Amino acid sequence: MLSFALGIGTQNTQGDWLEIYYPAPLFNPDASLVTAAQQALDAPQGNAAISFLPEDCTRLAKALEAAGHSAQAELAEALSASQRPLVAMFLDADQPPQTAPEVYLKLHLLSHRLVKPHGLDLTGMFGLLRNIAWTSEGAIDVEELPARRLKARMAGRALSVDCVDKFPKMTDYVVPTGIRIGDTARVRLGAYLGEGTTVMHEGFVNFNAGAEGPGMIEGRISAGVMVGKGSDLGGGCSTMGTLSGGGNIVIKVGEGCLIGANAGIGIPLGDRCTVEAGLYITAGSKVTLLDDQGQEVKTVSARELASQDDQLWRRNSQNGRIECLTNKSAIALNEALHAHN
């Protein structure tokens, strides 16, 4: 079994899942735990999202306790007081998700650091998620928002809509240890933030993307992009994800890199690379290679330099051409930026 989790969620008036919170998802759970849960909930083999009622919790808790899994048994017992829909998600194999509970479990696994970006199959996930109004009263189906707003007003409450999106913010579900986030609305559920990562107020981290940490993120980490250990993204910079023009190319940033303010990349970088502030590199950009003496060697497309280490990318201020040379300084990143204690 790849993963198992007990969750509490929200449904619309038609019974469709809007979102699911999994307090303690398990990755590669013990077989005895899975068997006990399957038998208690009469779950089939394979990937399955099983809805259950609060009155089923005691039976489930006893089965898990008998199998020697007290932590999950305690969670099951606690869920017996729930007034929201309950679900048990059994993820036997990593296949394209078929249900919203399955999508949410995979997003939780990423944000809990149990799996790294690109470690799970998320093919077709967008079609399984509804457009949701994330409000002061929880997740509301956009089509049902007018009625809910009117109901709240009639009861003397002002219903506030924080955003309208398919994804919630990560910190409403998971807060990994050892991180700082200036504006939590800018980190989506499904982001991977390693120990020592700081996301400043203008930083953004999409789902299935993230940073190994330590690192300072003041720019944008697009979907599918992973930033290596000790790398920093300057204010206003961006990484081109697979959903924003990068196609099937997996964009990543190696270790010890620096992407300057308002710069950007559309190719993967190796280790110890620097991109000058304001310079955006796409795969087709024409780049002049320079040797150790600063002499021109040849001109190539940026894609030919992808994933190579120790590069310094800059724009010549006199003629405007993009240049790349060996980064001899290897960029001594400011360790104070990475200190969290």
From first CA to last CA, the distance across the chain in angstroms is 38
Catalytic residue among 19, 102, 212, 218: 218
Q: Is 195 part of any known ligand binding site?
A: no
Q: Is 316 part of any known ligand binding site?
A: yes
Long-range contacts of 174-178, Cβ-Cβ distance < 8 Å, separation of 24 or more: 174/108, 174/111, 174/112, 176/111, 176/112, 176/113, 178/213, 178/340
Q: Is 314 part of any known ligand binding site?
A: yes
Q: Which two tokens stand for residue 226?
A: 């992973």
Residue 164 corresponds to which amino acid?
A: V
Instruction: Kindly report the number of other CB atoms within 10 A of residue 67's CB atom.
Output: 20
Q: Is 284 part of any known ligand binding site?
A: yes
Q: Is 202 part of any known ligand binding site?
A: yes
Q: Is 261 part of any known ligand binding site?
A: yes
Q: Is 315 part of any known ligand binding site?
A: yes
Q: Is 339 part of any known ligand binding site?
A: no
Residues 6+ apart with CB under 8 A from 181: 171, 187, 193, 198, 199
Q: Is 323 part of any known ligand binding site?
A: no
Ranges of H-type helices in the chain: 31-41, 57-66, 70-78, 100-111, 145-154
User: Is 212 a known active-site residue?
Assistant: no
Known binding-site positions: 202, 220, 235, 238, 261, 276-277, 284, 314-317
Active site residues: 218
Binding residues for succinyl-CoA: 220, 235, 238, 261, 276-277, 284, 314-317
Annotated binding site for Mg(2+): 202
